[in-house]
């Protein structure tokens, strides 16, 4: 059961199927181009979409908007210090701002930054500095049949081999992303953190967390790791963070707010450099691009996210969605991660080749059937054309992510999601693929336009369905 009840509500709008057909046509079958109001259940992302508590909203009302030394900053700093244990805490307007400051300070052209798996923005910020972002997740992390409970772990052997081969001089920092977002919200074990720490110590390279979903990761440790079951989430979090030199953090995830981020650092000279850059890019170090009221909401959210009843519901809601889809015959990434369920679109529509974008077909289908917005993580996002041969290379996995916002949707909303996915799955043979009709040179998934592919061989039912679309 939800360990909370509704006090403030937000109306959501239902559309009819024929309205959605029109909306899709107008948006070029790209769900990023649809007005949010026309979406019934929005599972596009879990980032910045959390519902705040009465306690957080009360905090918003006591915002101290002083330029320097705001009361809310002091509360934010004290809370983050207590939870994470870092000496210096710097606020930023979101996670990628923290990345920008950190990598501008540490990464030079030719450097390498190993991570279990980089998130898009950390990769982009490292590449922007002329560095290389290196993914060293364990092999099982990329194996859809593996049920490893800590699939997000970094492979210590791969890390040490790389350091030995290339030399520690070109590795300014090692990172661990908790949970490992890019491979499906998979957790990292405490044991893995300790092992990676011992390597970082041995070679004198600092270790940082990309800590966006630190509380969800701690909950998995409590439930899955030997000897951790009796400890509180707060204790596990303190333990995890005791092995790192700092962190970047997007408050849009596990601080249960809509905007914000932070940097945590132990080392004074690095903290000083970051502080100076922060003033240049974000704002004075006691607000860092945020309003005082935002800092207060983050401080309160960081406390609330450690509540084990909340985490049990949160992780349980995601797991239940995944398990019910599996029961219905739908293949999803397993084990089910912390913040999202990922449908395997190749298995969902085996008759649609990757060149005809099966993930896009699932995503569009879910909107058409039930007003649900999801995101394709497959060929639309990652397929690449070789500039010389013109040949396309397609990603290994063709996924559709159903990211669950925190504290937003009820179990009945989730039932509607399950029903919609199963409804689409039942009529899978009628569904056809899509082709891209216009696209931008980079990050095309945000703006591309698509058209359904009409094939002569499509059965009657499919022709009818496509005409409707
Ligand atoms: C969201 C996210 C970021 C970036 O944070 P923003 O607040 O969106 O800038 C970085 N790393 C991971 C793992 C994330 O999930």
What is the model's pLDDT at position 145?
Answer: 85
C-alpha pair distances (Å), 165 with each of 160, 161, 175? 8, 6, 19
pLDDT in tens, 265-292: 999 999 999 999 999 999 999 999 999 9
Structure tokens at 248: 């970047």
- DSSP line for 393-448: E--S--EEEEE--TTT--HHHHHHHHHHHHHHHHTGGG---EEEEE--SSSGGGT-
Identify which of 93, 120, 181 to mutate to test ligand 1's pocket (most ligand atoms within 8 A of the CB).
181
Q: Is 210 in the pocket of ligand 1 (CB under 6 A)?
A: yes
Q: Is 100 in the pocket of ligand 1 (CB under 6 A)?
A: no
Q: Is 250 in the pocket of ligand 1 (CB under 6 A)?
A: yes
Q: Is 95 in the pocket of ligand 1 (CB under 6 A)?
A: yes
Between the two ends of the chain, the Cα-to-Cα distance in Å is: 38
Domain 17-39+308-468 CATH class label: alpha beta
Identify which of 178, 180, 252 to mutate to test ligand 1's pocket (most ligand atoms within 8 A of the CB).
252
Average pLDDT over residues 338-342: 97
The domain spans of the chain are 17-39+308-468, 54-304
Q: Is 50 in the pocket of ligand 1 (CB under 6 A)?
A: no
- pTM tops 0.95: no
d(CA 168, CA 148): 30
Residues sharing a CB contact under 8 Å with residue 457, sequence separation 6 or more, in sequence order: none
Average pLDDT over residues 7-31: 96
d(CA 455, CA 432): 8
Q: Is the pLDDT of residue 458 over 80?
A: no
Fold of 54-304: 3.40.640
d(CA 231, CA 223): 10
Structure tokens at 351: 């008759």
Nearest to 251, CA basis, from 74, 409, 71, 84: 84
Asked if 361 and 349 touch (Cβ cutoff 8 Å), the reply is yes
Q: Is the pLDDT of residue 464 over 60?
A: no
Q: Can you point out the beta strands (E) in 29-171?
A: 41-42, 88-92, 112-115, 132-135
Average pLDDT of every residue of the chain:
95
What is the model's pLDDT at position 463?
Answer: 52
Q: Is 152 in the pocket of ligand 1 (CB under 6 A)?
A: no
Average pLDDT over residues 133-157: 95
Q: Is the pLDDT of residue 323 over 70?
A: yes
What is the model's pLDDT at position 387?
Answer: 83
Helices (H), 225-344: 233-241, 268-281, 292-304, 308-327
What is the model's pLDDT at position 34?
Answer: 96
Ligand 1, residue 180: give the atom nearest the CA.
13
Nearest to 171, CA basis, from 208, 205, 138, 143: 205
Helices (H), 181-226: 190-203, 214-224
pLDDT in tens, 419-455: 999 999 999 999 999 999 998 877 788 889 999 998 7
Q: Is the pLDDT of residue 363 over 80?
A: yes
Number of C-beta neighbours around residue 180 at 10 A: 31
Q: Is the pLDDT of residue 104 over 60?
A: yes
Nearest to 62, CA basis, from 52, 51, 73: 73
Asked if 185 and 340 touch (Cβ cutoff 8 Å), the reply is yes
Share of the chain above pLDDT 70, in %: 97
pLDDT in tens, 169-207: 999 999 999 999 999 999 999 999 999 999 999 999 999
Q: What is the CA radius of gyration of the chain?
A: 23
What is the model's pLDDT at position 469?
Answer: 47
Q: Is the pLDDT of residue 135 over 90?
A: yes
Burial call 372-404: b when 16+ CB within 10 Å, e when fewer: bbbbbbbbbbebeeeeeeeeeebbebbbbbbbb
Average pLDDT over residues 212-241: 98
Q: Is the pLDDT of residue 11 over 50?
A: yes
Between the CA of 130 and the centroid of ligand 1 the distance, in Å, is 20
Residues sharing a CB contact under 8 Å with residue 255, sequence separation 6 or more, in sequence order: 249, 297, 298, 301, 302, 305
pLDDT in tens, 370-426: 999 999 999 998 888 888 888 889 988 899 999 999 999 999 999 999 999 999 999
Q: Is the pLDDT of residue 457 over 60?
A: no
Identify which of 96, 211, 213 to mutate to test ligand 1's pocket (most ligand atoms within 8 A of the CB).
96
């Amino acid at each position: 059961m939800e360990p909370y009840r509704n006090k403030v509500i937000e109306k959501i709008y239902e559309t009819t199927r024929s309205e959605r057909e029109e909306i899709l046509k107008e948006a070029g079958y790209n769900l990023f181009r649809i007005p949010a109001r026309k979406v019934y259940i929005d599972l596009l992302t879990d980032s910045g979409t959390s519902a705040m508590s009465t306690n957080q909203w009360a905090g918003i009302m006591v915002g101290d908007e002083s330029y320097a030394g705001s009361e809310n900053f002091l509360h934010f700093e004290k809370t983050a210090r207590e939870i994470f244990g870092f000496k210096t805490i710097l606020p930023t307007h979101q996670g990628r701002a923290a990345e920008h400051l950190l990598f501008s300070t540490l990464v030079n052209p030719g450097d390498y930054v190993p991570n279990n798996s980089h998130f898009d923005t950390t990769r982009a910020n490292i590449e922007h500095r002329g560095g290389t972002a290196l993914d060293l997740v364990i092999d099982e992390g990329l194996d859809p049949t593996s049920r490893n409970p800590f699939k997000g772990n970094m492979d210590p052997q791969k890390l040490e081999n790389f350091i030995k081969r290339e030399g520690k001089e070109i590795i300014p920092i090692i990172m661990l992303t908790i949970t490992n977002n890019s491979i499906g919200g998979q957790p990292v074990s405490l044991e893995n953190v300790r092992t990676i720490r011992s390597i970082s110590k041995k070679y004198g390279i600092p270790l940082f967390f990309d800590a966006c979903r630190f509380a969800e990761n701690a909950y998995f440790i409590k439930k899955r790791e030997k000897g951790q079951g009796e400890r509180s989430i707060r204790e596990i979090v303190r333990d995890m963070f005791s092995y790192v030199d700092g962190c970047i953090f997007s408050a849009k995830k596990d601080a249960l707010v809509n905007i914000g981020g932070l940097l945590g650092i132990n080392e004074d000279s690095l903290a000083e450099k970051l502080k100076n850059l922060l003033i240049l890019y974000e704002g004075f170090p006691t607000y860092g691009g945020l309003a005082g009221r935002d800092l207060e909401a983050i401080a309160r959210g960081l406390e609330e996210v450690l509540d084990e009843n909340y985490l049990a519901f949160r992780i349980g809601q995601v797991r239940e969605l995944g398990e019910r889809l599996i029961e219905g015959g739908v293949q999803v990434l397993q084990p089910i991660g912390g913040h999202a369920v990922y449908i395997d679109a190749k298995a969902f529509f085996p008759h649609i080749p990757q060149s005809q974008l099966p993930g896009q077909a699932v995503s569009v289908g879910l909107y058409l059937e039930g007003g649900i917005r999801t995101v394709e993580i497959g060929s639309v996002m990652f397929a690449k054309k070789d500039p010389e041969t013109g040949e396309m290379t397609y990603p290994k996995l063709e996924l559709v992510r159903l990211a669950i916002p925190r504290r937003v949707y009820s179990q009945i909303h989730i039932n509607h999601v399950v029903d919609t996915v199963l409804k689409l799955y039942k009529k899978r043979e009628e569904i056809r693929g899509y082709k891209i009709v216009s696209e931008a040179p980079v990050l095309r998934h945000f703006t591309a336009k698509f058209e359904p592919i009409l094939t002569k061989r499509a059965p009657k039912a499919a022709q009818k369905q496509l005409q409707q679309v």
